[in-house]
Amino acid sequence: MALHSGLLRDQACLIVHGPDQPGIVAAVAALVTRNQGNIVSLDQYSSDPVSGDFFQRVVFNRPDLAAAMPAIEADLEKTLAPLGLAWTLTDRSVPKRMAILASTSDHCLLELLWRHRRGELPVTIPMVISNHTNTAEDVRSFGVPFFHVPSSGPDKSAAEAELLKLLDGNVDFVVLARYMQILSPDFLDRVGVPLINIHHSFLPAFIGPAPYRKARERGVKLIGATSHYVTKDLDEGPIIEQDVARVTHAHSAADLQARGAYVERAVLSRAVQWHAEDRVIRHGNHTIVF
Amino acid sequence: MALHSGLLRDQACLIVHGPDQPGIVAAVAALVTRNQGNIVSLDQYSSDPVSGDFFQRVVFNRPDLAAAMPAIEADLEKTLAPLGLAWTLTDRSVPKRMAILASTSDHCLLELLWRHRRGELPVTIPMVISNHTNTAEDVRSFGVPFFHVPSSGPDKSAAEAELLKLLDGNVDFVVLARYMQILSPDFLDRVGVPLINIHHSFLPAFIGPAPYRKARERGVKLIGATSHYVTKDLDEGPIIEQDVARVTHAHSAADLQARGAYVERAVLSRAVQWHAEDRVIRHGNHTIVF
Amino acid sequence: MALHSGLLRDQACLIVHGPDQPGIVAAVAALVTRNQGNIVSLDQYSSDPVSGDFFQRVVFNRPDLAAAMPAIEADLEKTLAPLGLAWTLTDRSVPKRMAILASTSDHCLLELLWRHRRGELPVTIPMVISNHTNTAEDVRSFGVPFFHVPSSGPDKSAAEAELLKLLDGNVDFVVLARYMQILSPDFLDRVGVPLINIHHSFLPAFIGPAPYRKARERGVKLIGATSHYVTKDLDEGPIIEQDVARVTHAHSAADLQARGAYVERAVLSRAVQWHAEDRVIRHGNHTIVF
Amino acid sequence: MALHSGLLRDQACLIVHGPDQPGIVAAVAALVTRNQGNIVSLDQYSSDPVSGDFFQRVVFNRPDLAAAMPAIEADLEKTLAPLGLAWTLTDRSVPKRMAILASTSDHCLLELLWRHRRGELPVTIPMVISNHTNTAEDVRSFGVPFFHVPSSGPDKSAAEAELLKLLDGNVDFVVLARYMQILSPDFLDRVGVPLINIHHSFLPAFIGPAPYRKARERGVKLIGATSHYVTKDLDEGPIIEQDVARVTHAHSAADLQARGAYVERAVLSRAVQWHAEDRVIRHGNHTIVF
């Protein structure tokens, strides 16, 4: 679990993605081997062996990885481009930079900060941004900078401009930890990094606001939470992870919300960890999770 | 678990339902006591202690119950009617009569027949009706009559008339065990007994046909099943029970269907058992499950 | 969920326990009614309707409860003592006082402090005591006093004496939140309040130290956690709650420990909440959990 | 899910196992490619990248597989033997032959027969053997031969000799579907194929007879089931799969047994399916499950 420890030094993660065809696994494995890599784990998926899409995640150890990265990347380009395959290679000793956007609720926010402090999330957290100030002291007690960007009134453009200024160039992805503002399409166009959201229902049930109230009204026997990448279609982005908890007729909407909080923080944490570990590949409106 | 055994002889189940008010529990408990009953279990729920709805299920033992039923019923009427409370009293030695409607799929049908044979469902099964014949031999091997009522063509009125003729007076409730026909409002008006359905999704997600295909298209990470009472609004009736199973990007729609079958049969079986044990009280579009 | 709010003002919890016999429910319900109480919830269990043990938990609202308590208690004594029934009556506006004992691990400790701050645990926390100092700052940031009682060397008598001095008269129960010291029989005799422990395995599997290492060695496919009352027999006390998480061949003992932490904190939190809400009745080496 | 369909024609499953070393994945992938195979799925695990044990399962399509098997096997021997790696290659169009041993309980037995009929288990079932006759008619209704081998008295040698005569040469593995007889070490020495058992507890809790009674006595809040390979140490063999179900103080030992039956049949079915699909690799007293 010591994700920041020396064990990940000289460890690379390679993602390969493109049209399936015979010999990809052999080509990639040979490439790793001739670049002095030792494969630690390997996952693959093909949407269809015949003319489907192929996805692969390979983790390998390689002494002096940082120095070797340019040569490996050149080899990847030379080997995989002719096959029409896209690839990304990451040095696992370099943590991703994760910003967290929050509102008044603290359950998802604190869970991420605490898991990070335990060394379970391979990220740095350069900033938490909230449109409220109630969590500032807690956030800073974890040694993480807190910025307050209020978001009142119907025109969010000033707030979004301030968000962009803070995020620009400083982060690799953004987590919306129960951030109760809808981000504009313009913001999403300009932010330039993936955003991960937690929706407090089992999507596609109860899209939109007040899902716990709707769940109570429908009389469901399970409530859920869904973590997904943010797209311009609200609550319609690719799902990364979901989970549920059992409820009964005796639970009020407030009870559902209280119980749901524990599902939300668990689901979001798993989605964030998997994203940070390069386990999630987006494919249209789906995700491949290795 | 010997639900048909002598243990349930002389055991009654009383359901009380109406406007909440102080003293109901005391009034009911006193009534049971003065009628020589010994309370075995008691559940209650109030939607709101102040001007809410009150629901209670009391199971009690009473020697010579059958002979005492008229007197207990008279006492219930005298005691509860003035409080505006409705009630039903059932003798638990009398099993409910359950018809099963099925199509080609056998997983829900066989599960119910098998659980019944094990003595886990306190019902008799006077008939299984299917619009196909493939399950006839299996059904009859359980000693249960099988009737074939075909349902081809857009006009279902002849088929529904035949169903009504078979069911009329012979059953206390009907289970749709993956019966792939939509029953008309007219049929529902005339059938006169509750119907329990199993929908192969986590409602309200994926209402209507082909939920596994829709689930695959949306890229969900859990699939579900929902058992509910049938109303004229398709897939909108009061939910009795739901459950889910985990799936991944690697599962095709056919895989979801195969995995979902195990969730469907478990969810439907629980809903049927609870209904048969008088544990489910309908309240508007909700259920109270004790 | 606002457990400290006015909703619990004038709400009482009555536990009744003793030999089962006809009429108990009626007697208790009548007692509540004649003392102007309105029953909000009622649970009961009988180990056997014939000469078994009877357990009941009744929650009722009663205006001016505090003033009425002596009269209700006198009525309870007069009504229930002749039946051989024991009872406890608690005013739910009075939180229980909970001490937490911890060592270096923070996951159970912080979860309890955080749930308490959210208003989900109906307790006050007069103190956290640890044999290490690493969590002091976190604890105090929740506004909770922290005491350091070191426990090195084989002779724990001085440390235990200091624990007793801190706890004596100040707490209603003690939670061992991964407190890695074995308390002596003498301490348990003298502490005078219940202690709740969390064991990091699915008891009775892997009793004693290093359960995750043992689980890894045995090759189990699920790991678990168990919360129980502390007795003189290590890991043998009455179980309050258990849960599990799925693991695979690929998880090291350290991975099991990391995953298990999330099960431990959830299981302990539920056990503590149920105890604090008077939902748990000890009966020999069993618990009744309403 | 059409496991017997043409989709598996010309599909091979290769298991590789031995000391970890750089280049294994590349060597295996190259071998598959040069033998005209197209990798469909690939899983691997290393107990330790440095001097650990390596395990790999590769599924690949290869036109005219049956004809090519000898050449592929020769290539495997030439390629992997020098690396100290063991391998097995199976043609997935050839189902494994599975015998089932049962006693009076039918829940595990019927579940396996029914899953097989649905096409979910890639096996043939040449025989069911029971020491009782109550399930004979059910078994034969699935078109499966039933043999009665009584097993009364302390001396099981005659019964075991008859079992061996029936099994010898006719089966690839044996499933003990709640077979309530302990097989002798001598039988295990001579049977020559793997045996899969279902134990009705969450091992290593409640080893030996009457686990539900022991679970009730200990007051656990979850019951479980464990499927494992049979070794001479009773209930100590390598675990393939486990699962649990929630129970309460209100459940008798008979209730635990009834609920546990559903866990048992699910756990055993998964273990059997995974074994039949060559997903389970034994390694000492552990299993690798891909």
Mutate to test the interface with D, among A20, A21, A38 (most CBs of D within 10 A): A38
Strand C239-246, strand C222-229: pairing: antiparallel
Compute the average pLDDT of residues B67-95: 97
Compute the average pLDDT of residues B189-207: 97
Query: Is it the case that residue A7 has pLDDT exceeding 90?
Result: no
With beta carbons under 8 A apart, name residues in chain A contacting D26: 26, 29-30, 32-33, 39
Of C235, C243, C255, C278, the active-site residue reads: C235
- My answer on whether A154 and A195 are in the same domain is yes
With beta carbons under 8 A apart, name residues in chain A contacting B250: 45
State the amino acid at position C191 in one-letter form: V
Query: Is it the case that residue C164 has pLDDT exceeding 80?
Result: yes
The alpha-carbon gap from B26 to the nearest alpha carbon of chain A, in Å, equals 21
Q: Which residue has the tokens 């992870």?
A: A241
> Which residues are paired to A42 by β-bridges?
A58
Interface of A with B (CB under 8 A): 45, 202-206, 218-222, 224, 238-244, 248-250, 285-289
The alpha-carbon gap from D171 to the nearest alpha carbon of chain C, in Å, equals 27
D49–A38: do the CB atoms touch at under 8 Å?
Answer: yes
Q: What is the pLDDT of residue C121?
A: 96
Buried b (16+ CB within 10 A) or exposed e, D27-45: bbbbbbbebbbbbbbbbbb
Name the residues of D annotated as catalytic.
Answer: 235
What confidence tier does D48 reach under pLDDT thresholds 50, 70, 90? confident
- My answer on whether D86 and D134 are in the same domain is no
Q: Is residue C31 within 8 Å of residue C14, measured between CB atoms?
A: no
With beta carbons under 8 A apart, name residues in chain A contacting D61: 49
The closest alpha carbon to D247, from D225, D220, D267, belongs to: D220
The closest alpha carbon to B47, from B283, B285, B270, B290, belongs to: B283
- My answer on whether B245 and B261 are in the same domain is yes
Give the Cα separation of A191 and A161 in Å (integer).
Answer: 10
B1–D266: do the CB atoms touch at under 8 Å?
Answer: no
With beta carbons under 8 A apart, name residues in chain D contacting C222: 202, 224, 242-244
Q: Is residue A235 within 8 Å of residue A207, measured between CB atoms?
A: yes
Q: What is the pLDDT of residue A87?
A: 98
Q: What percent of chain A has pLDDT over 90?
A: 93
Q: What percent of chain A has pLDDT over 70?
A: 98
* Closest CB to B49 among C25, C26, C40: C40
Query: Is it the case that residue D51 has pLDDT exceeding 90?
Result: no
The alpha-carbon gap from B114 to the nearest alpha carbon of chain D, in Å, equals 9
- Of B91, B123, B138, the one marking the end of a domain is B91
* Closest CB to A255 among C1, C118, C255: C1
Query: Is it the case that residue B111 has pLDDT exceeding 70?
Result: yes
With beta carbons under 8 A apart, name residues in chain B contacting A244: 222, 244
Give the Cα separation of B223 and B258 in Å (integer).
Answer: 11
Q: Is residue B135 within 8 Å of residue B147, measured between CB atoms?
A: no
Q: What is the pLDDT of residue C116?
A: 97
Q: Which residue has the higher pLDDT, B210 or C154?
A: B210
Q: What is the pLDDT of residue D78?
A: 97
Give the Cα separation of B168 and B160 in Å (integer).
Answer: 12
Compute the average pLDDT of residues A23-37: 95
Task: For chain B, give the number of residues.
Answer: 290
- Which chains are within 8 Å of C by 3+ CB pairs? A, B, D
With beta carbons under 8 A apart, name residues in chain B contacting C46: 40
CA dihedral D138, D142, D147, D151 (to 10 degrees): -50
What's the mean pLDDT when you consider all of chain C?
Answer: 95
With beta carbons under 8 A apart, name residues in chain D contacting C289: 221, 248-249
Query: Is it the case that residue D280 has pLDDT exceeding 50?
Result: yes
- A148: number of Cβ within 10 Å: 13
Q: What is the CATH number of the domain that holds B61?
A: 3.30.70.260
A222–B239: do the CB atoms touch at under 8 Å?
Answer: no
Please, what is the Cα angle at C106 between C100 and C110, to 5 degrees?
Answer: 65
What burial class does residue D20 get, using C-beta atoms within 10 Å of its C-beta: 0-12 exposed, 13-18 middle, 19+ buried?
buried
- My answer on whether D84 and D103 are in the same domain is no
Helix/strand/coil percent split, chain B, to 5: 35, 30, 35
With beta carbons under 8 A apart, name residues in chain D contacting A26: 26, 29-30, 32-33, 39
A1–C266: do the CB atoms touch at under 8 Å?
Answer: no
Give the Cα separation of D3 and D9 in Å (integer).
Answer: 10
Give the Cα separation of D115 and D49 in Å (integer).
Answer: 39
The alpha-carbon gap from B251 to the nearest alpha carbon of chain D, in Å, equals 10
- Of B67, B91, B115, the one marking the end of a domain is B91
How far, CA to CA in Å, does C191 sit from each of A129, B247, C178? 47, 50, 18
The alpha-carbon gap from C288 to the nearest alpha carbon of chain D, in Å, equals 6
- Which chains are within 8 Å of B by 3+ CB pairs? A, C, D
Query: Is it the case that residue B44 has pLDDT exceeding 80?
Result: yes
Q: Which residue has the tokens 């010309």?
A: D10
Q: Which residue has the higher pLDDT, D278 or C6?
A: D278
> Which residues are paired to A97 by β-bridges?
A124
- My answer on whether D175 and D59 are in the same domain is no
D22–A38: do the CB atoms touch at under 8 Å?
Answer: yes
Q: What is the pLDDT of residues D70-88, one digit of tens each?
A: 999 999 999 999 999 999 9
- My answer on whether B118 and B259 are in the same domain is yes
Q: What is the pLDDT of residue B6?
A: 41
- My answer on whether D18 and D150 are in the same domain is no
- My answer on whether D114 and D68 are in the same domain is no
CB pairs under 8 A between B and D: 21
Q: What is the pLDDT of residue A4?
A: 45
What's the ipTM?
Answer: 0.93
Give the Cα separation of C92 and C94 in Å (integer).
Answer: 5
Q: What is the pLDDT of residues A200-221, one digit of tens each?
A: 999 999 999 999 999 999 999 9
Looking at the structure of chain B, the number of domains it has is 2
- My answer on whether A29 and A64 are in the same domain is yes
- My answer on whether C105 and C228 are in the same domain is yes
What burial class does residue A178 get, using C-beta atoms within 10 Å of its C-beta: 0-12 exposed, 13-18 middle, 19+ buried?
buried
State the amino acid at position A157 in one-letter form: S
* Closest CB to C220 among D239, D249, D250: D239
State the amino acid at position B219 in one-letter form: G
DSSP line for C148-199 = E----SS--HHHHHHHHHHHTTT-SEEEEES--SPPPHHHHHHH-S-EEEEE
- Which chains are within 8 Å of A by 3+ CB pairs? B, C, D
Residue of D nearest to B115 (CA): D107
3-class secondary structure per residue, chain A: CCCCCHHHCCEEEEEEEEECCCCHHHHHHHHHHHCCCEEEEEEEEECCCCCCEEEEEEEEECCCHHHHHHHHHHHHHHHHHHHCCEEEEEECCCCEEEEEEECCCCHHHHHHHHHHHCCCCCEEEEEEEECCCCCHHHHHHCCCCEEECCCCCCCCHHHHHHHHHHHCCCCCEEEEECCCCCCCHHHHHHHCCCEEEEECCCCCCCCCCCHHHHHHHHCCCEEEEEEEECCCCCCCCCEEEEEEEECCCCCCHHHHHHHHHHHHHHHHHHHHHHHHCCCEEEECCEEEEC
CA dihedral D23, D24, D26, D30 (to 10 degrees): 130
Q: What is the pLDDT of residue A2?
A: 39
Q: What is the pLDDT of residue C153?
A: 79
B219–A239: do the CB atoms touch at under 8 Å?
Answer: yes
Query: Is it the case that residue D6 has pLDDT exceeding 70?
Result: no
Q: Which two tokens stand for residue A21?
A: 């065809």
Query: Is it the case that residue D4 has pLDDT exceeding 50?
Result: no
Domain that holds residue D37: 2-91
C23–B44: do the CB atoms touch at under 8 Å?
Answer: no
- A67: number of Cβ within 10 Å: 10
Q: What is the pLDDT of residue D135?
A: 98
Residue of A nearest to D34 (CA): A23
Q: What is the pLDDT of residue C140?
A: 97
Helix (H, G, I), strand (E, B) or coil at C68: helix
Give the Cα separation of C140 and C128 in Å (integer).
Answer: 9
- My answer on whether B181 and B241 are in the same domain is yes
Q: Is residue A230 within 8 Å of residue A183, measured between CB atoms?
A: yes
Query: Is it the case that residue D46 has pLDDT exceeding 70?
Result: yes
Q: What is the pLDDT of residue D234?
A: 85
What burial class does residue A37 get, using C-beta atoms within 10 Å of its C-beta: 0-12 exposed, 13-18 middle, 19+ buried?
buried
Query: Is it the case that residue D92 has pLDDT exceeding 50?
Result: yes
How far, CA to CA in Å, does A98 sit from each of A79, A106, A188, A273, B211? 32, 17, 16, 11, 36
Buried b (16+ CB within 10 A) or exposed e, B67-95: ebbeebeeebeebbeeeebebebbbbbeb
- My answer on whether C82 and C100 are in the same domain is no
Q: What is the pLDDT of residues C89-107, one digit of tens each?
A: 999 999 999 999 999 999 9
* Closest CB to C44 among B22, B23, B41: B41
Helix (H, G, I), strand (E, B) or coil at D199: strand
Give the Cα separation of B41 and C187 in Å (integer).
Answer: 40
C203–D219: do the CB atoms touch at under 8 Å?
Answer: no
Compute the average pLDDT of residues C208-218: 96
Q: What is the pLDDT of residues C124-161, one digit of tens each?
A: 999 999 999 999 999 999 999 999 999 887 889 999 99
Query: Is it the case that residue B168 has pLDDT exceeding 80?
Result: yes
Residue of A nearest to B238 (CA): A219
State the amino acid at position C183 in one-letter form: L
Q: What is the pLDDT of residue A234?
A: 85
Mutate to test the interface with A, among C4, C7, C114, C115 (most CBs of A within 10 A): C114
* Closest CB to C38 among B39, B43, B49: B49
Residue B257 DSSP code: H
Residue of D nearest to C46 (CA): D250
Q: What percent of chain B has pLDDT over 90?
A: 93
Question: Strand order in A96-102's β-sheet?
Answer: A146-148, A123-130, A96-102, A173-177, A195-199, A222-229, A239-246
What confidence tier does B154 reach under pLDDT thresholds 50, 70, 90? confident
C61–B49: do the CB atoms touch at under 8 Å?
Answer: yes
Q: Is residue C242 within 8 Å of residue C224, measured between CB atoms?
A: yes
Q: What is the pLDDT of residue B50?
A: 78
With beta carbons under 8 A apart, name residues in chain A contacting B223: none
Q: What is the pLDDT of residue C247?
A: 98
* Closest CB to A1 among C137, C258, C262: C258
The closest alpha carbon to C120, from A12, A107, B44, belongs to: A107
Query: Is it the case that residue D50 has pLDDT exceeding 70?
Result: yes
Q: State the distance between the two ends of chain C, measured CA to CA, in whole angstroms.
A: 18
- C95: number of Cβ within 10 Å: 17
- Which chains are within 8 Å of D by 3+ CB pairs? A, B, C
Q: What is the pLDDT of residue C49?
A: 73
* Closest CB to D30 among A26, A32, A41: A26
The alpha-carbon gap from A35 to the nearest alpha carbon of chain D, in Å, equals 11
Q: Which residue has the higher pLDDT, D152 or C231?
A: C231
- Of B42, B64, B91, the one marking the end of a domain is B91
Q: What is the pLDDT of residues D198-234, one digit of tens each?
A: 999 999 999 999 999 999 999 999 999 999 999 999 8
Query: At CB < 8 A and 24+ separation, what contacts does C135-140 make?
Result: C135/C102, C135/C104, C135/C106, C135/C109, C135/C110, C137/A141, C138/A141, C138/C106, C138/C109, C138/C110, C138/C113, C139/C109, C139/C113
Residue B95 DSSP code: P
What confidence tier does D49 reach under pLDDT thresholds 50, 70, 90? confident
Q: What is the pLDDT of residue A6?
A: 41
Of B91, B172, B235, B255, the active-site residue reads: B235
Q: What is the CATH number of the domain that holds D193?
A: 3.40.50.170
Query: Is it the case that residue D282 has pLDDT exceeding 70?
Result: yes
What confidence tier does B4 reach under pLDDT thresholds 50, 70, 90? very low
Give the Cα separation of C165 and C161 in Å (integer).
Answer: 6
The closest alpha carbon to A14, from A66, A45, A56, belongs to: A56
* Closest CB to C141 among A120, A141, A262: A141
Residue of A nearest to C138 (CA): A141
What confidence tier does C51 reach under pLDDT thresholds 50, 70, 90? confident
Query: Is it the case that residue A5 has pLDDT exceeding 60?
Result: no
**Taking the alpha carbons of C59, C61, C65, C71 in that order, is the dihedral positive or negative?**
negative
